[in-house]
Amino acid sequence: MSFGAYAWRHTLTWRKQPCPDVDLARFGQITFTDPAGMVHTWPSADTIVSIPVDDRGGMFEMRQVTRLLPTRTGSRQAHVLTTRTDLSAGEVLFRMGSRWRLENYFRYARMHFALDAHDSYAASDDDPDRMVPNPAKKTSRDTVNAARARLERVQATTDAALLDWHTPPPGPAVTLTNADHNQITAPLWKTEEALEQARQAHAGTPAASRWGR
């Protein structure tokens, strides 16, 4: 295969194992600042390698940037091959990492989002009469939950007030009247009424509505 016709094209890819490791003495710390301003530092080596291209002993020289990756038992080497000589070693590693991130995303999306299930990209008009979840149903449910929580707080306050009312401190006699009782429990009745109104509103709100309306 001749590479002359493709001299204007560049390659950035990873080198499959098994392949020779780089001498550890050639590794050093490489720093790169990405477009977002984040600084990355990797132990890596920047070398030139000869890649076999045919069964007749043909070889093609490429730049190889190798990153040293820690493992549980020591370290391993990941090799990136490229024909780009104008990029720093840090940018080569960053670009390859960006490609890996894209590949990992599409691999995840293929597994969980069924990307390959799209057998057609034809478009059709939407049905304005189709039923969709009614957002007002969630709003009314939130109102019920808020009213229920408020009732619990008012109930606790009312119980404490009634306890104090029924157990006055020692001293002159205190007359307990229905008016006093009604005054203490009035906030509780109002809160219970508000909760009941919220429940009725929630029950009367349809769970689905037409898309176009």
CA geometry: angle at 206 spanning 203 and 207, to 5°?
Answer: 100
Q: What is the pLDDT of residue 204?
A: 92
Q: What tokens appear for 110 in the block?
A: 């293929």
Question: By three-state DSSP, how is residue 20 classified?
Answer: coil
Round to the nearest angstrom and report the end-to-end CA distance of the chain: 63
Q: What is the pLDDT of residue 31?
A: 93
Q: What is the pLDDT of residue 8?
A: 58
Tens of pLDDT along the chain (213 residues)?
Answer: 344 444 457 888 888 888 899 999 999 999 999 988 999 999 999 999 998 888 888 999 999 999 998 888 888 999 999 999 999 999 999 998 888 778 888 888 888 887 777 667 777 787 878 888 888 899 999 999 999 999 999 999 988 888 887 777 776 666 778 888 888 889 999 999 999 999 999 999 998 887 755
Q: What is the pLDDT of residue 174?
A: 64
Q: What tokens appear for 213 in the block?
A: 């309306």
Q: How far apart are CA 46 and CA 91, in angstroms?
A: 12
Q: Is the pTM of this model over 0.85?
A: no
Q: What tokens appear for 179 in the block?
A: 């008016």
CA 55 from centre of chain = 47
Q: What is the pLDDT of residue 119?
A: 67
